Amino acid sequence: MHHLDPGAAHALLQKNPQAVLVDCRTEIEHMYVGHPIGAEHVAWQEGPDWEVDPEFVDKVKRLVKRDLSCPVLLICRSGHRSLYAGEALEAAGFSAVINVLGGFEGPLDENFHRGTLGGWRQRGLPWQQS
């Protein structure tokens, strides 16, 4: 698995229109916190049970039309769930999996808030909120 900071991930998406950005956060996070413009939403897990979606890999396969060489960038809140999702994709044969470091919101700051130290949104990259 490769790892890119948000700026490099955005640049890769701009240069490679075949690449797919998958937001693997929950539906609530995707809708209410916001998401990168153009990101496809495929949740790695959802509440209330927080079980991993057994269909996750198949859903991503459909997004890339079963082309397992298609670059898939994964983003979550802070870059942790996307690691697990990326490992699952690689185990299923995906060959170009990229984790977006810092995720959408970045790490917690000294006040236990996200969005101030890094992440897609803090970098000023294109995003929207539902």
Q: pLDDT tens digit string along 49-89? A: 999 999 999 999 999 999 999 999 999 999 899 999 999 99
pLDDT score at 26: 96
Whole-angstrom Cα distance, residue 30 to residue 129? 8
CATH number for the domain formed by residue range(s) 2-128: 3.40.250.10
Number of helical (H) and strand (E) elements in the chain, helices listed first: 4, 7
Show me where the domains of the chain are located: 2-128
Report, as an integer, the average pLDDT of 29-41: 96
For residue 63, give Cα distances in angstroms to 8, 42, 47, 67, 74: 22, 10, 23, 9, 13
Residue (of 129, 23, 40, 115) closest to 75 by Cα position:
23
- Mean per-residue pLDDT over the chain, rounded: 95
pLDDT score at 130: 82
pLDDT score at 116: 86
In 10 A of CB 72, how many CB atoms? 27
